[in-house]
């Protein structure tokens, strides 16, 4: 029996999983699966630059660079438009994200979707990722060593996306992304920049925090308006 999966079926499965298949902006063909697996194996254990979405996704799925791989159900790579102007970065997957393999699902994800729609953006036109690709046990904060082990994957996503703006949601995401220890209140409302790539970063509250503290939604709205204005300015 022929068990080969057709390209159309593969794309349908990826779509059902919420995964955007990689397509080169220049129109080159995707690498063969065997080549992807070989390249992914090479980059997991060293610091080779990762410049291919398919290789990066497989490298993340097979990663054992920190102990979080022992307790994960699956990795949470990221989701959205690989040509997005806006990259949303959170801290780490939770229990539902770990189960489904997609960032920002559940009530916090629904609120994030509403926040994006409020500034005229749909989830499918942005890209959403986390500092960590695996769920920390008990949803604890990421450890420095875990964030350091995972950072090359996020950096590779940023390098390939080349977003115009990054929206960091939550204190931990902002601190890890920017390499500082400032409280969220000190980072909000500032024109910050990802030094390694020269990309402007706007910091706002995590949707999970806003569900617990709805009185701060007004401040989050200010951050979202600043994001929309900056995107408009940079894409004009």
Percent of the chain residues past pLDDT 90, beyond the cut: 74
Q: How many CA atoms lie within 13 A of 164 on its CB side?
A: 15
- Nearest by Cα to 81 from 117, 125, 112, 51: 125
What are the extents of the domains in the chain?
Answer: 9-235
Angle between helices 171-178 and 144-161 (to 10 degrees): 70
* Chain segment 144-180, per-residue pLDDT in tens: 999 999 999 999 999 999 999 999 999 999 999 999 9
**Distance from C-alpha of 87 to C-alpha of 33, rounded to nearest angstrom:** 27
Query: 9-235: which CATH architecture?
Result: 3-Layer(aba) Sandwich (3.40)
Q: Average pLDDT of 1-22?
A: 48
127: CB partners within 8 A, 6+ apart: 78, 79, 80, 81, 82, 84, 86, 87, 88, 157, 161, 163
Range list of H helices, the chain: 7-16, 33-44, 53-61, 95-100, 106-118, 144-161, 171-178, 184-187, 207-212, 217-235
For residue 131, pLDDT beyond 60 = yes
Strand partners for 87: 127, 166
- Nearest by Cα to 178 from 201, 161, 158: 201
Q: Which residue has the tokens 């390249």?
A: 39
**Distance from C-alpha of 165 to C-alpha of 168, rounded to nearest angstrom:** 10
* Chain segment 64-96, per-residue pLDDT in tens: 989 999 999 999 999 999 999 999 999 999 999
Round the average pLDDT of the chain to a whole number and report it. 86
Q: Is the pTM of this model over 0.75?
A: yes
* Chain segment 31-71, per-residue pLDDT in tens: 566 566 566 656 666 667 788 899 999 999 999 989 999 99
């Amino acid at each position: 029996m022929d068990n080969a999966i057709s390209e159309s079926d593969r794309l349908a499965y990826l779509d059902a999983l919420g995964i955007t298949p990689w397509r080169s902006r220049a129109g080159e063909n995707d690498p063969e699966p065997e080549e992807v697996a070989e390249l992914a194996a090479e980059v997991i254990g060293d610091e080779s630059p990762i410049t291919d979405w398919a290789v990066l996704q497989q490298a993340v799925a097979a990663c054992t660079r920190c102990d979080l791989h022992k307790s994960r159900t699956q990795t949470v790579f990221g989701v959205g438009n690989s040509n997005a102007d806006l990259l949303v970065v959170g801290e780490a997957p939770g229990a539902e994200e770990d189960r489904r393999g997609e960032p920002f699902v559940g009530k916090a994800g629904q609120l994030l979707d509403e926040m994006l729609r409020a500034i005229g953006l749909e989830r499918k036109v942005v890209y959403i990722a986390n500092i960590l690709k695996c769920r920390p046990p008990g949803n604890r904060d990421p450890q420095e060593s875990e964030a350091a082990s995972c950072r090359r994957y996020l950096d590779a996503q940023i390098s390939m996306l080349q977003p115009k703006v990054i929206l960091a949601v939550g204190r931990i995401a902002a601190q890890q992304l920017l390499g500082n220890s400032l409280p969220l209140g000190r980072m909000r409302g500032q024109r910050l920049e990802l030094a390694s790539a020269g990309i402007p970063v706007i910091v706002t509250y995590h949707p999970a925090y806003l569900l617990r503290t709805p009185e701060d939604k007004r401040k989050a709205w200010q951050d979202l308006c600043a994001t929309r204005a900056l995107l408009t300015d940079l894409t004009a």
